Structure 1
Amino acid sequence: MPLIDSDSDSDEGKINISGRRNRRDPNFNANPTKVNSNPLKRARNNSENDDSIKSSSKSSDSNQQNQKDRKVRYIAKKKASNNNNNNNSNEVEGGGGDNVENNNLQGANGGYAWEDEIKRSWDLVTVDKEGDMTALVASIIEARKKRAAKRNITPFQRGIIRTLILTLDCSESMNEKDLRPNRHAMMIQYAIDFIHEFFDQNPISQIGIVIMKNGLAHLVSQVSGNPQDHIDVLKSLRKQEPKGNPSLQNALEMARGILSPVPPHCTREVLIIFGSLSSTDPGDIHQTIASLVHDRVRAKVIGLSAQVAVCKELCSLTNFGDNSFYKIVLDETHFKELFDEAVTPLPVNKVNKGFTLVKMGFPTRVFENIPTFCSCHSKLVYGGYFCPNCHSKVCSLPTVCPCCDLMLILSTHLARSYHHLMPLKTFEEVDSKEKFPTENCFSCQKKFPVLMDHKTNELLTSSRYRCPDCKIDFCIDCDVFIHEILHNCPGCESKPTI
């Protein structure tokens, strides 16, 4: 018997020297059947196996054909039943029947709601023949600017002299990175932008900054009307790492103590940025909330996590049952929008309704060749403003005189605060089918963009926004700028007055 290599591979399987099958062979069978030594019987068995294979393949083909036929009959039957249901629903008056319930469950394609086709957000993106998405992107940007320009123009009596305590959560929860780069960094950046915008729209108001950290509340910036002081403090907070747990009660008690000497003609507000899901309080926070309600302090909370029951109770009780002052951030853009909402003064309610005459001073600027001490910082400065009541020197306006407590402002500051009481009307979008009198914007003199549908060659939008008073058209950029910065219509101001 010749020797056979045990490592050689063949169609017969691996064979060792003893002539036995190798167990590592994938075709190895531990219980082999007996092989018939008669060649005629083997041929007969092979032919029977071939016949069985052919018959099984024929049966599988017939099964597939039957399945297709059943599917076609099922679809036809379902369409017929849907048509019958639609006809029956037209004959039924009122509600309460089975047909009405089935119709409520039907989707847009006539079937049930769970049979509707899946519509993905990216399936709505369309391009023109050249594969260009410029028109689509421009329409999305314009729609976003439209939302920014649409604001409540109903005139309310508002408290334009505001005292607001900005309370920031600097606890360990602000290290979360669901907002890039993290919650703490984004909160500080948006707070700086808020300070700029707040004093631009409310020049005769004041702000103080309180942070919550390690279970305590810290006053990091005194109440003042100088935005640069607050911005410098916020920039220094960037270098500090958030630690510990927040204490909402300590922050509210500190804010209540700061706002207690505020005169009644000024509003008392607390804006809280809360990123934690709990509060480490030394006492009964519900008693603190009751004290805030008694002192007429109004609170607003911007949550960075899930809704917290005590924050909802705080906003509801301090705002006379209005729950809209507690909102949860959805994304970075929404966080910025919630900050911007706090810029507008709150309407005066019926409880606080009243008229108060406030004494104000309008000092004039004086230039000096020799520096003298100012009464606000006790520093040598060239020139400044002298109080018309006590003749004390201050560096900048608006401010409160350190000697006689008289509010010192300029006429422009009062004018910028007045636009909250009489807001500018919303510009109306011009119909795209209307004949346009001009091709350029009245304000910036740029040509209006043309956004056309390449399939129908029709304008998607006119990109023109018309003042309801002077009937002059503006572009979307000028519309947003006029309503957010100027607060006066250039077309109305340019018309000659008799």
Structure 2
Amino acid sequence: MIDEDEAQTGSNTGQGGMYHWEAAYQRSWDALEEDDSGSLAAHVAALAREKLARRRHVLALSNSAVPVHRGLIRHQFLVLDMSEAIASPADYLLPTRLECVLHNAQVYVDHFLTVNPLGCIGLIATRDGGAEKYTELTGNTAEHIAAIQNKSNREPRGEPSLQNALEIARRSLLHVPSHGSREILVLYSALTTCDPGNISETIQSLKADNIRVSIIGLSAEMRICKHICKETKGIYNVIMNEQHLKEVLASHVAPPAVESEKTASLAMIEMGFPSSTSFASPTICANHGKPTQIGYECPRCKTTICSLPTDCPICSLTLVSSVLLARSYHHLFPVPPFVEIPVSHRTSHFSLSLAAQIQLIVVHVKWHSLLHQQGSGRYQCPNCMHLFCLECDIYCHELLHNCVGCLGGSNH
């Protein structure tokens, strides 16, 4: 007989008796690439360029001399091109174009809902000359990732239909309140579109409904995609490699600026703050029609819902939690961009945050020496005058959303 502890251990192990989490670190040195002389400098320099690209993205979000109005309540549909075109080989997207796009789509959904806790996202796929809605607008990350990982949803077939996908997203976004943004982001691989009607009519409908369409081309530039983005005030990009795809997706995470005309018409937004409730017996969720024993009750009509944020399907009241509202605060008051300190102005101390609390090893020192070839590698907060390394600069702006030195309250 097999002991219970051994059975539990066996269920957590894969091939070779290793734990599943250990597999990610097996032969991790194979990812290193040497140049013709056997040096790793080129590989480390590529990692440094990736870090610097992330800092440029941080500067683009926070370096604004004029305060920008941003819509914190976002509603976005992510459209995936699941036609045969995404199954075609591409040397710039590895291991395959399909796997690369679906993996980055999962990362984007998780990042989007983390940065926009008051936002909702939905998934739509286009193939076989039509379009299919994978998930409704919701803030449940697990539901979206499960839909992407579903094997039946990962089978590319036929031709895409850009018009059908945009029409499905448009009809779903019509019910979004005026104070929420209406956005569509398309990951498009094909160079054709199989539409049942005149796509120009769809473009005019999108403009009339104030829906912003942005498209990321995975193959080559298409005139119709560029025209759609121009008419709906979206952004059109054609990627060059996987790193460029990550950067373009990251640029769509932060809330876009709200137009001055729309800002002038905004008024007070009525919201409800329901508390989590445990029900004695399973109760049907009004949003998904599924039984649940832990959920929320609308404070106005007592309707049961399973997750926040959402709009009450009965009385249309916007339902959020105070925690989600607090997590959106940094969009209105972002951390000011840190100023790069020239190499000639170096001081004895290096970084206030994590890098100063650990023993720096030789590899870390060489990492920063390579960064210094492209910049000083030191950045200073304009308020508290503390110094930070590149990693800590990115950490403060992308994850912490606060300056460690300003939070400490001590100035130099």
Tell me what 1:430 maps to: 341
Is 2:403 the counterpart of 1:489? Answer: yes
| Aligned residue among 244, 250, 267 for 1:334 | 244
Which amino acid in 1 is paired with 2:263? K
| Aligned residue among 247, 261, 276 for 1:365 | 276
Query: Which ranges of structure 2 fall in alignment gaps of 5 or more residues?
Result: 1-34
Residue pair 1:188, 1:237 contacting (<8 A) in 2 also: no
Query: Identity across aligned pairs (percent)?
Result: 35
Deviation at 1:262, TM superposition (A): 1.4
Which amino acid in 2 is paired with 1:481? Y
Residue pair 2:368, 2:377 contacting (<8 A) in 1 also: no
Deviation at 1:267, TM superposition (A): 1.0
Tell me what 2:52 maps to: 146
TM-score, structure 2 length as denominator?
0.79
Provide the rounded CA distance (Å) in 2 between the counterparts of 1:490 and 1:441: 8
Which amino acid in 1 is paired with 2:250? D
Matched residue SS, 1:483: helix
Residue pair 1:149, 1:426 contacting (<8 A) in 2 also: no
Which amino acid in 1 is paired with 2:317? L
Residue pair 2:125, 2:132 contacting (<8 A) in 1 also: yes
Which amino acid in 2 is paired with 1:335? L
Is 2:353 the counterpart of 1:446? Answer: no
| Aligned residue among 191, 198, 207 for 1:284 | 198
Residue pair 2:148, 2:154 contacting (<8 A) in 1 also: no
| Aligned residue among 243, 254, 262 for 1:352 | 262
Superposition pairs of residues 232-251 of structure 1, within 5 angstroms: 232-237=146-151, 240-251=154-165
Provide the rounded CA distance (Å) in 2 between the counterparts of 1:139 and 1:245: 40
Tell me what 2:7 maps to: none
Tell me what 1:113 maps to: none
Tell me what 1:389 maps to: 300
Structure 1 pair 214–453 and aligned structure 2 pair: CA distance change class (3 A): closer
Matched residue SS, 1:477: helix
Deviation at 1:437, TM superposition (A): 4.2
Residue pair 1:360, 1:407 contacting (<8 A) in 2 also: yes
Provide the rounded CA distance (Å) in 2 between the counterparts of 1:300 and 1:391: 38
Deviation at 1:430, TM superposition (A): 2.4
Tell me what 2:315 maps to: 404
Is 2:64 the counterpart of 1:158? Answer: no
Provide the rounded CA distance (Å) in 2 between the counterparts of 1:332 and 1:403: 43
Tell me what 2:172 maps to: 258
Residue pair 2:217, 2:239 contacting (<8 A) in 1 also: yes
Provide the rounded CA distance (Å) in 2 between the counterparts of 1:440 and 1:352: 42
Residue pair 1:307, 1:328 contacting (<8 A) in 2 also: yes
Residue pair 1:441, 1:447 contacting (<8 A) in 2 also: no
Which amino acid in 1 is paired with 2:251? E
Which amino acid in 2 is paired with 1:242? P
| Aligned residue among 340, 364, 388 for 1:474 | 388
Q: Which one is further off, 406-415 or 331-340?
A: 406-415
Provide the rounded CA distance (Å) in 2 between the counterparts of 1:392 and 1:266: 22
| Aligned residue among 64, 72, 96 for 1:182 | 96
Superposition pairs of residues 215-234 of structure 1, within 5 angstroms: 215-234=129-148
Residue pair 1:212, 1:251 contacting (<8 A) in 2 also: yes
RCO comparison, higher one (Cα < 8 Å, 6+)? 2
**RMSD of aligned residue pairs (Cα, Å):** 2.8
Paired residues, number = 359
Tell me what 2:8 maps to: none
Matched residue SS, 2:109: helix
Deviation at 1:180, TM superposition (A): 2.1
Residue pair 1:400, 1:408 contacting (<8 A) in 2 also: yes
Matched residue SS, 2:187: strand
Deviation at 1:331, TM superposition (A): 0.5
Residue pair 1:362, 1:409 contacting (<8 A) in 2 also: yes
Q: Which one is further off, 437-446 or 328-337?
A: 437-446
Provide the rounded CA distance (Å) in 1 between the counterparts of 2:124 and 2:366: 48
Superposition pairs of residues 38-57 of structure 1, within 5 angstroms: none
Q: Please tell me whether Structure 1 or Structure 2 has the larger radius of gyration of its CA atoms.
A: 1
Deviation at 1:387, TM superposition (A): 3.0
Query: Which ranges of structure 1 fall in alignment gaps of 5 or more residues?
Result: 1-124
Superposition pairs of residues 199-218 of structure 1, within 5 angstroms: 199-218=113-132
Residue pair 1:209, 1:222 contacting (<8 A) in 2 also: yes
Matched residue SS, 1:190: helix
Is 2:220 the counterpart of 1:310? Answer: no
Is 2:111 the counterpart of 1:169? Answer: no
Structure 1 pair 276–471 and aligned structure 2 pair: CA distance change class (3 A): same
Deviation at 1:244, TM superposition (A): 0.9
Cα deviation code 1:47-104 (max 9, x no counterpart): xxxxxxxxxxxxxxxxxxxxxxxxxxxxxxxxxxxxxxxxxxxxxxxxxxxxxxxxxx
Deviation at 1:326, TM superposition (A): 0.8
Deviation at 1:172, TM superposition (A): 1.0
Matched residue SS, 1:404: coil
Residue pair 2:108, 2:249 contacting (<8 A) in 1 also: yes
Structure 1 pair 291–392 and aligned structure 2 pair: CA distance change class (3 A): closer
Structure 1 pair 464–235 and aligned structure 2 pair: CA distance change class (3 A): same
Cα deviation code 1:459-482 (max 9, x no counterpart): 756532221111111222121111
Residue pair 1:303, 1:328 contacting (<8 A) in 2 also: yes
Residue pair 2:379, 2:390 contacting (<8 A) in 1 also: yes
Structure 1 pair 451–401 and aligned structure 2 pair: CA distance change class (3 A): same
Residue pair 1:185, 1:238 contacting (<8 A) in 2 also: no
